[in-house]
Amino acid sequence: MIEEVKKYLKEVDAFSSKDPKAIENFRISYAGKKGILNDLFAAFRTVPNEEKKAYGQELNHLKKAVSEKIKFLQSQLQSTSNDFQIKDPSRTPFPIESGNRHPLSVVKNRIIDIFTQIGFTISEGPEIEDDWHNFTALNLPEHHPARDMQDTFFIQTDPDILLRTHTSSVQVRYMEKNQPPIRTISPGRVFRNEAISARSHCIFHQIEGLYIAKDVSFADLKQTLQYFTNALFGNSKIRLRPSYFPFTEPSAEVDIYWGLETETDYRITKGTGWLEIMGCGMVDPNVLENCGIDPEIYSGYAFGMGIERIAMLLYQISDIRLFFENDIRFLKQFKATL
């Protein structure tokens, strides 16, 4: 009988749990009305007289051990509950991971910060535009062949209303309301009716810049672009290749020298080492005149770039669709860019 009590004592000493249900089951099994202690006390009368003293001492020892164990485990539960309440009563019972900015927001904010440091303001406009601000005022009259370069989403109920194809429409609105000197950048979302693939999407983001003042030259434009590429990519070489845009003349594409150090460099630069990052040019006099600015007095330059393209270069992302799929595994990689 004494050996049985000692066996239960070892079980009590070894028991440990943080589960309230398990602790309650332990209490009932030992200290309940039909528990082990009651059975052992009931069996006391059957113990031989010479063993009763030793048996009673062991039984009292077991009873005390059970009581202390129950109090200890319950106090631990109460302590854990109190600690939680004291630290933060509004805290949720499960961990919440910290959020992070979308990579496009990170890149957009970096570009904005670079240009605002040299005096550019931020201007915004509607995503649903009219034909005048999106095309005609930008030297793209009706039936102009260059309109075909931008597959447009038109609103069926009104052929004059469309989803803007570039943020140049914001620049038109800004020039209509402000007189030179003008120095502004226009970030925003644009839409084009293009097939979605790894390199193109029907929705993307642009930042376009505009500077209008007296005696603005192409040299001023190049100096601004060199400052921007150095700030964003580090010290870099740029080149300007002649191109065509209806709203600028002369126009150019801007390339930066990416290098040919790795196999990836060869692939993304097609073996040349150069990467196109934006278009630019001197604002066409017709555009200035359409916006109520005298082209005989003022001149200016404009430039524009796709934020997705810049982000893909900076982070070496090969598929533009990743920016729009909200895959948490992809977005988590940009925690360090907060």
Report whether 295 contacts 285 (CB < 8 A).
yes
pLDDT for residue 113: 95
Task: Give every strand in the sheet of 158-163, ordered side by side.
Answer: 128-130, 158-163, 154-155
Report whether 20 contacts 75 (CB < 8 A).
no
pLDDT for residue 179: 92
Report whether 152 contacts 163 (CB < 8 A).
yes
pLDDT digits (tens, 9 = 90+) for 157-172: 777 899 999 999 999 9
pLDDT for residue 84: 46
H or E stretch including 332? none
**Joined tokens for residue 100:** 């992070």
- The per-residue pLDDT string of the chain (338 residues; one tens digit each, 9 = 90 and over) reads 677 777 878 887 888 888 888 888 888 887 887 788 777 777 767 777 777 777 777 778 878 888 888 888 878 776 655 544 546 667 666 666 777 889 999 999 999 999 999 999 999 999 999 999 999 999 887 776 666 656 888 887 777 899 999 999 999 999 999 999 999 999 999 998 888 888 888 899 999 999 999 999 999 999 999 999 999 988 889 999 999 999 999 999 999 998 888 887 888 888 898 999 999 999 999 999 999 999 999 999 999 999 999 998 888 888 899 999 888 888 888 765 54
Cβ atoms within 10 A of the Cβ of 12, count? 20
pLDDT for residue 147: 66
CB-based contacts of 316: which residues, under 8 Å, 6+ apart? 264
**Joined tokens for residue 110:** 């970096």
pLDDT for residue 92: 67
Peptide bond preceding 20: is omega within 30 degrees of 0, i.e. cis? no
End-to-end distance of the chain based on CA atoms, in angstroms? 69
Question: What is the pTM (predicted TM-score) of this model?
Answer: 0.68
pLDDT for residue 313: 87
pLDDT for residue 256: 93
Report whether 256 contacts 275 (CB < 8 A).
yes
Nearest to 286 by CA among 150, 172, 125: 172
